[in-house]
Structure 1
Amino acid sequence: YTEFVSADGLANEKGREVLIKDFRFKKNEHPIVAQIFGANPENIKKAAILVRELGFDGIDINMGCPDKAVIKQGAGSALIKNPKLAREIIRAAKEGAGGLPVSVKTRIGFNKNEIETWLPEILAEKPSALIVHLRTKKEMSEVPAHWEFAGQIAKMAKEAGVILIGNGDVESLEDGIQKAKDSGVDGIMVGRGIFGNPWFFNEKKKIQDISLEEKLETMIQHAKLFEKELSGIKGFHIMRKHFKAYISGFDGAKELRAKFMETNNVKEVEDIVKEYLKKGV
């Protein structure tokens, strides 16, 4: 899945020039799904047409983002409060998709558990898949994901003939497989769980067995890739959340992490890592 991109931006020429960069991918990344968000069905349709033309394998509509700016547009998790519009948006995306699978990612509710009222609205539109982040918008990521509700949702999805993917607090590949088995969901989506752990899907490598030196070298490669692909498009400060994830769980992590929070380019990152490794890990 790509990062989510504004359908309103993609629908106009000027915005498309900037945002299209978020939809770059290489052949070896197939199958790949483009995630979009918005509250205007016509623009969703236009964005879906573009996604199809770009060669994506599917379209996902974000109806779960808790960001205030997104909610202000009536998009993301705001659509939980507007099921009529949400359904129109799914139909518009299908129209533009021209046969490409259309999925929806959402939450279990806005301020409270609305599984029994909100999710049937989505399921009635028969998306190719439904991805449910097992928290409400209000809960953000501040409480444990409610996997206790996953079985109930899995039953609803099965009855509707819709693939269900669970999301939230998946700590490892093994944990995800177990959560799927226990709950009856068809698959698992991982978000923050992969931060600082690009080995997440490697069955032969466990994060706890990876040396700090290898983590730091991988972090440099990550930063180089970010600078190569996104320099001039996105600010280097975005890498800081990844630095925070890579550098944790060892003595002196807090002090070392603080240094990376001040970096503005790859060279500064490399210099800090070299200095640290000279002292001996």
Structure 2
Amino acid sequence: MTLTALDSKPLRIGPLVLDVPVVLAPMAGITNSAFRRLCREYGAGLYVSEMITSRALVERTPVTMRLIEHHESEDTRSIQLYGVDPKTVREAVTMLVAEDRADHIDLNFGCPVPKVTKRGGGAALPWKTSLFRAIVEGAAEAAGDIPLTIKMRKGIDDEHLTYLEAGRIAEGAGVAAVALHGRTASQFYSGQADWDAIGKLKETVTSIPVLGNGDIWAGEDALRMMEQTGCDGVVVGRGCLGRPWLFGDLAAAFRGETTRIQPTLGGVGDAIRRHTELLAEFHQEEARACREMRKHMAWYLKGYPVGSDIRSGLALMSTLEELDGLLAQLDRDQPYPGRDAEGPRGRAGTPKRPSLPDRWLESRELNDDQKANISAAELSHSGG
């Protein structure tokens, strides 16, 4: 059976109801308030913040307090937390709830970055069953009526899978939904996501929504994932880099429409300009916004025939005036290039042996040395 608008249903995450079952995945340095607002202008869904380190939040560092801010137009304030100490994570959740700073909280157990996994954080943490259980149960209790969800990977590698057991623990702890990226930490973002694993998790976790993540590049991919796995919604990460209109495509796909947003080069230029404006408002500094936008340019222009001089200029621009001058040189009528503008973007990495603490895989429980060292894993990195 092909999934149609009649088959798809609103996604319920605790008291939250999403007419379009789509979640923006947290991405460090990407999913700040400016990018979330831009994506919302194209489509609908749940837009999650950059990953916030629980310790930094409890300590109220200025950068962290800035990152948890939401624009008044963001009617559902969603924050992802990362932490390895149950007490600190609980304190961070308690703070968000007590100070009315979030309508949804997500816990990150999917980060594959070596600086995190080598200290037992991210995708490495669910291997330690008691630690994982303590973090999730404490956070869920502290969240109260605020829906708490978790995002995770399949496991450390194919020999050390954790997702089914972690899903059962999370379900038992009272979380509102679980999301699975169908890759292991060792895969990073390479190869293809294992959608069959998402289906297995859906068969295992039956009382709460299961969301699928990995290789959603177009609206058709989201429909195909839900049909193949039975999952209740999708999480979109790298597919929207330089393509905020993907959320419009996804909304149309779930409505059963076949029309997709396929911008001309002029439309891409308009998105670049709007993104930069929003960043300038967020940072309250034009120069910083322009510097941050440089990394987005290759994603936005992927597949479009744009001269090297303009590309180089966009990668170096430092003012809105300079940006406007460069965008004015684009051939605004240049049509959408099709598949050349789609597909993977960002660094996929290559499969590699995960960096882990000493003797991490010897036991599912922490030894004394690991207990003493694991707090150092609370670093700010992207959430897998």
User: Would the TM-score normalized by the shorter structure come out above 0.5?
Assistant: yes
Equivalent position of 2:217 in the other structure? 171
State the SS of the aligned residue for 1:28.
coil
Equivalent position of 1:36 in the other structure? 81
Distance 2:225 2:308 in 1: 32
Equivalent position of 2:59 in the other structure? 12
Distance 2:307 2:120 in 1: 40
Shift of 1:123: 3.7
The 10-residue stretch of structure 1 (28-37 or 214-223) with the greater mean CA deviation from structure 2? 28-37
Equivalent position of 1:239 in the other structure? 293
Answer whether contact 2:106 2:149 (CA < 8 A) is retained.
Answer: yes
Number of positions where the alignment pairs a residue of Structure 1 with one of Structure 2: 275
Answer whether contact 1:61 1:105 (CA < 8 A) is retained.
Answer: yes
Counterpart residue identity of residue 10, structure 1 = L
Equivalent position of 2:302 in the other structure? 248
Aligned 1:189-200 pairs, distance under 5 A: 189-200=235-246
Task: Give the percent of matched residue pairs that are identical in Structure 1 and Structure 2.
Answer: 25
Shift of 1:72: 4.6
Equivalent position of 2:274 in the other structure? 221
User: In the superposition, relative to structure 1, how do residues 252 and 129 fare at CA in structure 2: closer, same or farther (>3 Å)?
Assistant: same
Equivalent position of 2:138 in the other structure? 92
Measured against aligned partners, the alpha-carbon deviations of 1:200-245 in whole angstroms (never above 9, x if no partner) come to: 232276243x111111121111012112202569775443342221
The 10-residue stretch of structure 1 (62-71 or 134-143) with the greater mean CA deviation from structure 2? 62-71
Gaps of 5+ in 1: none
Shift of 1:98: 2.6
Counterpart residue identity of residue 283, structure 2 = L
Equivalent position of 2:50 in the other structure? 3
Measured against aligned partners, the alpha-carbon deviations of 1:51-108 in whole angstroms (never above 9, x if no partner) come to: 2123421210001012233335533223133222111111221232132111100101
Answer whether contact 2:280 2:289 (CA < 8 A) is retained.
Answer: no
Distance 1:6 1:186 in 2: 28
User: In the superposition, relative to structure 1, how do residues 253 and 207 fare at CA in structure 2: closer, same or farther (>3 Å)?
Assistant: farther
Distance 1:145 1:172 in 2: 15
TM-score, with length taken from structure 2? 0.65
Distance 1:241 1:235 in 2: 11
- Does residue 202 of structure 2 align to residue 154 of structure 1? yes
Answer whether contact 1:199 1:206 (CA < 8 A) is retained.
Answer: no
User: In the superposition, relative to structure 1, how do residues 200 and 253 fare at CA in structure 2: closer, same or farther (>3 Å)?
Assistant: farther
TM-score, with length taken from structure 1? 0.87
The 10-residue stretch of structure 1 (65-74 or 82-91) with the greater mean CA deviation from structure 2? 65-74
The 10-residue stretch of structure 1 (144-153 or 131-140) with the greater mean CA deviation from structure 2? 144-153
Counterpart selection for 2:121 from 56, 66, 75: 75
User: In the superposition, relative to structure 1, how do residues 122 and 241 fare at CA in structure 2: closer, same or farther (>3 Å)?
Assistant: farther
Aligned 1:181-196 pairs, distance under 5 A: 181-196=227-242
Measured against aligned partners, the alpha-carbon deviations of 1:13-72 in whole angstroms (never above 9, x if no partner) come to: 4x1x32111112234322232111011111111211222123421210001012233335
Answer whether contact 1:197 1:207 (CA < 8 A) is retained.
Answer: no
Distance 2:68 2:139 in 1: 17
User: In the superposition, relative to structure 1, how do residues 272 and 234 fare at CA in structure 2: closer, same or farther (>3 Å)?
Assistant: closer
Distance 1:183 1:172 in 2: 17
User: In the superposition, relative to structure 1, how do residues 264 and 129 fare at CA in structure 2: closer, same or farther (>3 Å)?
Assistant: same
Shift of 1:166: 0.4
User: In the superposition, relative to structure 1, how do residues 37 and 235 fare at CA in structure 2: closer, same or farther (>3 Å)?
Assistant: farther
User: In the superposition, relative to structure 1, how do residues 234 and 78 fare at CA in structure 2: closer, same or farther (>3 Å)?
Assistant: farther
Counterpart selection for 2:94 from 33, 40, 49: 49
Distance 2:273 2:76 in 1: 27
Distance 1:142 1:148 in 2: 17
State the SS of the aligned residue for 1:144.
coil
Counterpart residue identity of residue 154, structure 1 = K
Answer whether contact 2:117 2:123 (CA < 8 A) is retained.
Answer: yes
User: In the superposition, relative to structure 1, how do residues 258 and 146 fare at CA in structure 2: closer, same or farther (>3 Å)?
Assistant: farther
Answer whether contact 2:80 2:107 (CA < 8 A) is retained.
Answer: yes
Q: Normalized per residue, which structure has more helix? A: 1
User: In the superposition, relative to structure 1, how do residues 225 and 98 fare at CA in structure 2: closer, same or farther (>3 Å)?
Assistant: same
Gaps of 5+ in 2: 1-47, 335-384
User: In the superposition, relative to structure 1, how do residues 177 and 262 fare at CA in structure 2: closer, same or farther (>3 Å)?
Assistant: same
